[in-house]
Structures are given as C-alpha cells and as structure tokens.
Amino acid sequence: MELPWAEPFKIKMVENIYKSTREEREKWIAEADYNLFNLESRKVFIDLLTDSGTGAMSDKQWSEIMTGDESYAGSASFEKLKNTVQELTGFKYFLPTHQGRAAENVLFSVLVKEGMIIPGNAHFDTTKGHIEFRKAHAVDCTIDEAFDIENMHPFKGNIDLEKLENVYQKHPKEQIPFCLITVTCNTSGGQPVSMENIKAVRELSEKYGIPVYFDAARYAENAWFIKQREESQKDKSVREIIKEMFSYGDGMTMSSKKDGLVNIGGFIALNKEEVFQVASNFTIIYEGFVSYGGMAGRDMAALSQGLQESSEESYLESRVGQVEYLGNKLIEMGIPVQKPIGGHAVFVDAKTFLPNVAKEEYIAQTLAIELYKEAGIRGVEIGTLLADRDPESRENRYPRLELLRLAIPRRTYTNNHMDFIASALKNVYDRRKEITSGYEITWEAPIMRHFTVKLKKV
C-alpha cells in the first residue's frame, strides 16, 4: 500500500481557540456591521481570512529569533539571509524590506514611470496599486482558461504569449520597464505558472529587449506544482526547479509572509548593478539602511531559516496537500469550487452555491457571513465588494465570478479542522435554497471599501 503524506513536523506549542455558540456569533457579526474584517480574532474559531503572515514558525526559527544580530550595520543575521537568498534564487544582489508591498515600492520607484505599461499574469492588488499610483498601467495577459473555474488546465497562472506579444508590438520598449510574472498567481486563485511558460516569456521578452521580474511570494508552492504537473521537470529537485525558474528573470520582489514562513518581512533580489544601486537609495529613504530595510535582525534570521524550510519537499507536499485535501472534500460533497485546487486557498463559487441571492445583494459576502454564523469560520469575499465601484460612473462593478476564498495558513491547522470546515460548508449548502436575500451597504469608504464597509441585512 502506498503511504499517504503526513506532516513532516510535530506540535510543540499550542494556542487555544474558542468555539463560540451560534447565538454569540449572530450578535458579534451584527456588531461588526456584517464585515468579517471588523471581527476580533478571539471571536473566530478557524481563521481563513488570509495565509499572509499567519503561519507557524518552527523551533529552529524561534531559536534564530533568540540569536538574531541587531547591529545597525554588518549584522550577521543580514549576511545569513543574504547568503540564503543568493543560494536559493541565484540572484546577485539583495535588499531587505519590511514586507512585499514595500519591495514593490522600492523597485518600482526605480523602474516605473508615468505612462508605462507593465504586462504580466493577473497582478496582485498592491502590485497594481503601486503601478497605478505612478500613473502607469498593468496589463493582464493571463491565459483565458484561468477565467473558467471548471477548466482543469494544470497551469492556469500561465501568460498568454500572444497577448504578451501584442503588448510588446503596440508599445516601444522604453515604455515597458519589465514583464511581471506572479508565482503562483494569487489573483487567479493560487494557480501555478509552468517552467515552459516562464522560459517562453523570457525568450519572447529578450527578443523585444524587455526585462522579466517575478512577484515571487509563493515561488516554492509554484515549484512544487511544476514538479508534480510538468512531465519534463519531475526528476528535478524543488531546489533545482526554483533555481531554474529564477534564472529566467532579472529580479524578484518577495512577500516573506507567504513562502518565507515568517509573520512579517519582504525583500528584493536582482542581477543588474545599476538597478541595485538606485534601489539601495530608495531602501534607505523608505525602509531603513540596506542591511536591515525595516526588519529586525532576529526577523531576518528567522526568515533565512524559513526560506530553507519552505523549499523542502516534505513540507511542500503537506502544505499543498492540505489545501487539496479540503478542496477534494468539498468537491465530494458537491460544493462548487474553483478547479484545479490552488496552492494556498480553496475558492468556493458563491454564485452557483447561492442561486437565490441577487448580485446587488453581495452573494459571496452573504456566503462568508453564513459560514461564520454556522461555525465561526472566517473566509473572505472575492466579489463585488472587493471589485468596488467604477471610478468614473461610481456604479458597482460586478465581476464575472463571486468567490468565497478560504485561505489556509501554513503549518497552523490540522486536517480535523479541514473536515470541520467542509462539514460546516455542507450544512450551509444543504439549506442554500432558504437563503434568498443578502446585504446592503450602509457606509463605505471612497476606495478599498471592502476593509471597512458597513452592511445591513436586506
């Protein structure tokens, strides 16, 4: 009999979580104006709001916290982290930042100017924010298969080479500072990009003289998918795959809160000395001196260890395996989810789940609230609230998909929690026909409304 995967760790410390009553939850969610971001975490039993900075560190990472070097310059923890990043990615230069968006801010301050075009697969929202803030444009060149949640394409994060070449032909190369590949593609559902695609993007970009950068928050999960799904890559180690992936790029920005296995942090790694020099100046202005960039020495030491652990295959097998475990449970129960299951989250198709709720009443948000009331589970709406209003007409933008994202923190919950989540969602599914109305907005901010919006029952 083939042995199943099992977590390559055991638990040394626990944090108790409170399983509330339905009565308490009904009261709390009303007090929070039906916005899950407003809920105190002690009122949540299983928190699937995000996988960002919510994972568990290992004993070795905690011991790094104790031995971190807090020197302003020449810190040994900085050297350790720099060596790990260079060894893992092959990039020559390294700059720490306080998180991923800070890395974007520093790098884009060097490379992105007004009117520029940055093509790529679906850009993450802070990435797009940093591009648009500079009056430049992000062009989504993701393959069309990504928008069909039933399509079983193994690499739905791939860039459509034809769409990319159109961008390259339409604009002079001076106007395109780089192509950005996000691995895995968070915005399209934690879907991976294949090695073949990365290589092809590199070759095409080289032909037009355009650099390639990675938004690399989940690069280790992406490498794991490549090993599993790409025939020509299956005999390589994950470390070899990571090295090869990055060999097709000129640099990367990283949110260490994902595959860095730490609670805060980020960095930039790159090859071009001129870019590094100018980026160093921006790091000093925005983040801190180049040897800490907004991070404590101890945090850099823990990140160095976290990067080693997150590229271990036994870890990735259990990480991606747990997300898949939850996804498959839901599929078995007949619950509509995005397929194939992504690397860090399961996306529930709320439109199919709740056919009797009008789109004007926020379908995915309604489902998120129902799941919280059912069992104290906090997911997040990826739907109309997030899509916000059109900046000109101020009308609601209704996206094609209304999704409830269940993001799984790393090394934090057990498969019993996954079973619990699946059962809770099944209970809501069984009474979906009775859910016929949703919510309306009583207050919203002019931008990024989903964080602070106030709602009431229709």
User: Rule CB under 6 A: which residues touch ligand PLP?
Assistant: 52, 99-101, 124, 126-127, 182, 186, 215, 217, 255, 257-258, 266
* Count of Cβ atoms closer than 10 Å to residue 161 Cβ: 15
- Which of 6, 30, 125, 445 is flagged as catalytic? 125
Residue 213 annotated among the catalytic residues of the structure: no
Q: Which is nearer to ligand PLP, 443 or 451 (CB)?
A: 451
- Residue 203: CB minimum distance to ligand PLP, A: 24
Choose the catalytic residue: 56, 217, 368, 422.
217
Q: What is the nearest approach in angstroms of ligand PLP to the Cβ of residue 262?
A: 10
Active-site residue identified among 27, 30, 59, 72: 72
Which C-beta is closer to ligand PLP: that of 124 or that of 248? 124
* Three-state secondary structure readout of the chain: CCCCCCCCCCCCCCCCCCCCCHHHHHHHHHHCCCCHHHCCHHHCCEECCCCCCCCCCCHHHHHHHHHCCCCCCCCHHHHHHHHHHHHHHCCCEEEEECCHHHHHHHHHHHHCCCCCEEEECCCCHHHHHHHHHCCCEEEECECHHHHCCCCCCCCCCCECHHHHHHHHHHCCHHHCCCEEEECCECCCCCECCCHHHHHHHHHHHHHCCCCEEEECCCHHHHHHHHHHHCHHHCCCCHHHHHHHHHHCCCEEEEECCCCCCCCCCEEEEECCHHHHHHHHHHHHHHCCCCCCCCCCHHHHHHHHHHHHHHCCHHHHHHHHHHHHHHHHHHHHCCCCECCCCCCCEEEEEHHHHCCCCCHHHCHHHHHHHHHHHHHCEECEEECHHHHCECCCCCCECCCCCCEEEEECCCCCCCHHHHHHHHHHHHHHHHCHHHCCCCEEEEECCCCCHHHCCEEEEC
**Residue number, 25 or 218, with CB nearest to ligand PLP:** 218
Q: Which is nearer to ligand PLP, 134 or 258 (CB)?
A: 258
359 as an active site residue: the answer is no
Asked if residue 196 lies in contact with residue 161, where contact means CB atoms within 8 angstroms, the answer is no
Please report how close the Cβ of residue 48 comes to ligand PLP at its closest, in angstroms.
Answer: 15
Query: Distance of CA 396 to CAs 361, 386, 453, 454, Å?
Result: 11, 10, 14, 16
Q: Which residue in the list 258, 339, 351, 417 is annotated as catalytic?
A: 258
Q: Least separation, in Å, of the C-beta of 26 and ligand PLP?
A: 32
Nearer to ligand PLP, 57 or 422 (CB): 57
State in angstroms the smallest separation of the CB of 254 from ligand PLP: 8
* Residue 126 or 412 having the CB closest to ligand PLP: 126
User: Which CB sits closer to ligand PLP, 255 or 308?
Assistant: 255
For the question of residue 250 being annotated catalytic, the response is no
Is 128 a catalytic site residue? Answer: no
- Bin 448: left if φ > 0, else alpha if -120 < ψ < 50, else beta: left
The CB-nearest residue to ligand PLP is 100
Catalytic residue status for 208: no
Of the pair 227, 257, the CB lying nearest ligand PLP is at: 257
Closest distance to ligand PLP from the beta carbon of 341 (Å): 17
Q: How far is the CB of 104 from ligand PLP (least distance, A)?
A: 7
Q: How far is CA 418 from CA 325, 377, 414, in A?
A: 8, 11, 7
Catalytic residue selected from 47, 51, 215, 259: 215
For the CB of residue 23, give the shortest distance to ligand PLP in the complex, in Å: 35
**Residue 160: active-site member:** no
> Is 108 annotated in the active site?
no
Active site residues: 72, 124-125, 215, 217, 258, 450
